[in-house]
């Protein structure tokens, strides 16, 4: 029982670290465009991180994380080694300003500890494969959606913009499986953009007026992304804590997750975001490409939409990868040379290495915990 308490405490510490490590995901564009000061931005993002608690009640992502390792092979030593590896890698990448994935380091650590303990039979390789595939797919989807939104926004005629949005929304309703919350969310995004386009075209052209309009919209888009960030990332820690509760026979199954678990995880995430992650803000907000308020709105909206859909599908994607791909998308819409591809390649290497490095760290921690008699 004592070890279980240690696991829960360390998991919440990881969630806190995840918050300040990934704060840049939510605030980088809104700070770089000077819509909010850094202090205002972290308060804004932290508040909406917690708001996600009231929206994402299905816990699909948490369920996926908890079942990455087969239940028969989960024990306190495996979970503790995984969380220690995740904390170590997160702190190292934060120190060097690398926007790596907190999601993938947690999953890599959890799976790596289980592999060391019981071999390949202990891990659900299909789930791990799906998660690994989204290392590429999440930023690509974010980039494509961001390019689409940016291209639509850059059109001059209002009727062209309206037609594209209506057709795209209708096609999404028909071909993409959405729950009621996602349907209303998509309609909300579409309505906001249509109203903004109409408002902008109802007055004489003015670059300053248009910039001010998108600065206001960026408050909305960053809030939407922060909700997606909280809903996606807090659930990963929820999954690990739930796995520990099941292995200690506190609860029988994931469906019995106590109310205090999501509440504690969302709170820790919000507090961590309030602490900020200024080293990574610089990389995300300025080093990939220069972002205007209009482009910030497009990137954050694309990132939010990607996170909402993947959460609905139960895929624990990286918010870091998603927003990076979205920022690349708005930069590439201007011209390919607007994206600093050298920086992007460095980030890609960090993304690829996260799962295997975390797994190796977890194996080392598993061995050390064995020597300590745990």
Q: Are 358 and 87 in contact (CB under 8 A)?
A: no
192: left (phi over 0), alpha (psi -120 to 50) or beta: alpha
Which residues lie across from 69 on neighbouring strands? Answer: 123
Which residues lie across from 50 on neighbouring strands? Answer: none
Tens-digit pLDDT profile for residues 249-260: 888 887 788 889
pLDDT one digit per residue (tens) for the chain, 374 residues:
678 899 999 999 988 888 877 766 667 677 777 777 777 777 888 899 888 888 887 788 888 888 888 888 889 999 999 999 999 988 887 777 666 777 788 888 999 999 999 888 999 888 888 887 887 788 888 888 998 888 888 888 888 889 999 998 898 888 877 777 778 888 888 898 888 888 888 777 677 777 788 888 888 888 888 888 888 888 888 988 998 898 888 888 877 888 899 999 999 988 888 776 555 445 444 444 466 788 888 888 998 988 888 888 888 887 877 887 888 788 777 655 545 555 556 666 666 788 888 999 999 999 999 888 77
Q: In sequence order, which residues have a C-beta less than 8 Å from that of residue 94 and are 6 or more positions away?
A: 17, 20, 21, 277, 279, 280
Q: Are 235 and 65 in contact (CB under 8 A)?
A: yes
Alpha helices in 37-98 (DSSP H): 38-51, 60-66, 76-95
Determine how many CB atoms are found less than 10 A away from the CB of residue 141.
23
Tens-digit pLDDT profile for residues 314-372: 888 878 778 878 887 887 776 555 455 555 566 666 667 888 889 999 999 999 998 88
pLDDT at 81: 93
């Amino acid at each position: 029982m004592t070890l279980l308490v240690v696991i829960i405490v360390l998991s919440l510490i990881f969630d806190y670290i995840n918050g300040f490590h990934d704060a840049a995901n939510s605030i980088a564009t809104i700070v770089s465009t000077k819509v909010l000061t850094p202090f205002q931005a972290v308060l804004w993002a932290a508040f909406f991180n917690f708001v996600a608690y009231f929206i994402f009640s299905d816990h699909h992502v948490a369920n996926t994380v908890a079942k990455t390792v087969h239940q028969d092979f989960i024990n306190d030593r495996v979970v503790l080694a995984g969380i220690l590896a995740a904390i170590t890698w997160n702190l190292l990448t934060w120190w060097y300003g690398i926007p790596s994935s907190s999601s993938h380091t947690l999953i890599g650590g959890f799976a790596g500890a289980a592999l060391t303990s019981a071999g390949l039979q202990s891990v659900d390789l299909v789930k791990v494969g799906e998660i690994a595939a989204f290392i590429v797919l999440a930023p690509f989807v974010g980039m494509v959606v961001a390019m689409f939104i940016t291209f639509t926004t850059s059109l001059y005629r209002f009727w062209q913009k309206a037609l594209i949005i209506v057709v795209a929304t209708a096609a999404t309703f028909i071909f993409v499986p959405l729950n009621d919350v996602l349907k209303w969310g998509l309609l909300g995004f579409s309505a906001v953009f249509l109203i903004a386009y109409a408002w902008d075209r109802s007055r004489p052209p003015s670059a300053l007026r248009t910039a001010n309009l998108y600065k206001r919209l960026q408050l909305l888009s960053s809030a939407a992304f922060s909700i997606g960030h909280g809903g996606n990332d807090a659930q990963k820690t929820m999954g690990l804590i739930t796995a520990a509760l099941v292995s200690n026979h506190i609860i029988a199954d994931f469906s019995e997750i106590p109310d205090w678990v999501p509440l504690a995880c969302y709170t820790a995430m919000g507090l961590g975001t309030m602490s900020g992650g200024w080293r990574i803000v610089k990389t995300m907000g300025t080093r990939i490409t220069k972002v205007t308020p209009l482009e910030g709105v497009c990137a954050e909206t694309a990132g939010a939409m990607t996170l909402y859909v993947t959460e609905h599908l139960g895929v624990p994607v990286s918010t870091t990868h998603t927003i990076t791909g979205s920022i690349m998308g708005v930069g590439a819409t201007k011209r390919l040379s607007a994206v600093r591809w050298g920086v992007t390649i460095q980030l890609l290497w960090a993304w690829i290495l996260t799962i295997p490095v975390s797994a190796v760290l977890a194996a080392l921690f598993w061995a050390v915990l064995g020597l300590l008699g745990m």
